[in-house]
Amino acid sequence: MSEFAILGAGIVGVTTALALQEGGHEVIIIDRRQPGREASYGNAGIVQVEVMEPYAFPRGALDVLRLALGLGNDVRYQLAALPSAALPLALYYLNSAPIRYRTISQIYRQLIGRCAADHDKLIAGAGAEHLFVRRGYIQMHREARELDTDAAQAERYRKDFGVQSRILTNQALRGEEPCLKRDFAGAVHWQQSRSCVDPGGLVATYAALFRRRGGTLLEEEVRSLTQPASGWHVHLRNGRRLATENIVIALGAWSPSLLRPLGVSMPMIRKRGYHRHYKADRLPGRPLFDVAAAALYCPMSQGLRLTTG
């Protein structure tokens, strides 16, 4: 019987396993694919140390109406998916109310405040420095009004939390990133964030560190969980059953369906992200977020990654 079984070999599962391992626990990771080959593969690769508050649900009636009618490029949804998302959306809206949002943000900051140091420790241990660019990331705005809003938030973050940023004019932005082919009203350069040029490769590198430290990785699909008198049984697709004292479920969008038979409800809004890679004569020096287009342009080892923002 293992002490901990981690279900899911994405960035959350693997780093959780490393943390438990560092605490002296025996850990096994179980996933149907190799580490970092699902959702952790295709993201923007940004360690966003500047995000001191979670993204809140819009509270203004006009903002909600704009989203519902699809007038912007930030949200696309299917009507058929709304019934199953109704409860999570309602909770998201309620938890974004000012009083609850302030409480949640205070807890959230405790996690964000240590993510850079925690990553740096793992980067050093795994020998993964070559996968990182430490030049921050840039949010580009096409409208002056949106730039002013973002700049005001950046100033508040600087005063309240010591987050480093700078405001770029269009000329300064084009000077920083000569690959750009169009003008913007300006941008906010979040200076402390760092980015990974191969997110899936980073997870694989962390998983290799986990193995070197004595951890076990099992490539199998989990079908169900049962809870006997003590501990847990993990039932695999091949018919095997593994016993473990503790379970950590890090399966992302697949977590609720695994927990539902146990009577555990996990309200979750499933978001689908997309990415494509392109050849480019000149890559940006760091991730660039085109806010109006809701698109991120990221320099990756595979070329220019265009991904949903």
**Tens digits of pLDDT across the chain (309 residues):** 789 999 999 999 999 999 999 999 999 999 999 999 999 999 999 999 999 999 999 988 898 898 888 887 778 888 898 898 999 999 999 999 999 999 999 999 999 989 999 999 999 999 999 999 999 999 999 999 999 999 999 999 999 999 999 999 999 999 999 999 999 999 999 999 999 999 999 999 999 999 999 999 999 999 999 999 889 999 999 899 999 999 999 999 999 999 999 999 888 888 888 899 999 999 999 999 999 999 999 999 999 999 987
For residue 6, list its beta bridge partners: 29, 248
Order the strands of the 241-249 sheet from edge to edge.
216-219, 27-31, 2-7, 241-249, 232-236, 222-226
Query: Does the global pTM surpass 0.85?
Result: yes
Neighbours of 166 (CB within 10 A): 15
Give the count of alpha carbons within 13 A of 6, CB side only.
27
* Pairwise CA distance, residues 214 & 200, whole Å: 22
Is the Cα dihedral 121, 125, 126, 132 positive or negative? positive
Please state, in angstroms and as integers, the Cα–Cα distance from residue 115 to each residue in 19, 54, 109, 199, 280, following that order: 13, 14, 10, 16, 31
Phi, psi for 251 (deg, rounded to 5) = -100, 10
**Which of 37, 45, 33, 35 lies closest to 15 in space, CA to CA?**
35
What per-residue confidence (pLDDT) applies to 219? 96
In the chain, where the domains are located:
137-191+274-309
For residue 275, list its beta bridge partners: 307
DSSP 229-249: SSSEEEEETTS-EEEEEEEEE
The first and second tokens of residue 160, run together, are 């309240």
Secondary structure (3-state) at 292: coil
Neighbours of 222 (CB within 10 A): 22
What per-residue confidence (pLDDT) applies to 309? 77
What per-residue confidence (pLDDT) applies to 1? 77
* Pairwise CA distance, residues 91 & 269, whole Å: 10
DSSP-H helix ranges across 24-178: 61-68, 82-95, 98-126, 144-161, 170-176
User: In 81-102, which positions are buried (b, 16+ CB within 10 angstroms) versus exposed (e)?
Assistant: eeeebeeeeeeeeeebeeeebe
Please state, in angstroms and as integers, the Cα–Cα distance from residue 251 to each residue in 1, 11, 54, 158, 244, following that order: 22, 10, 21, 35, 17
Do 67 and 223 contact (CB within 8 A), yes or no?
A: no
Q: Which helix (H) or strand (E) holds 200?
A: helix 199-212
- Classify residue 50 by its DSSP letter: T
Q: What residues have CB less than 8 Å from 91, skipping those under 6 apart?
A: 267
Q: What is the CATH number of domain 137-191+274-309?
A: 3.30.9.10
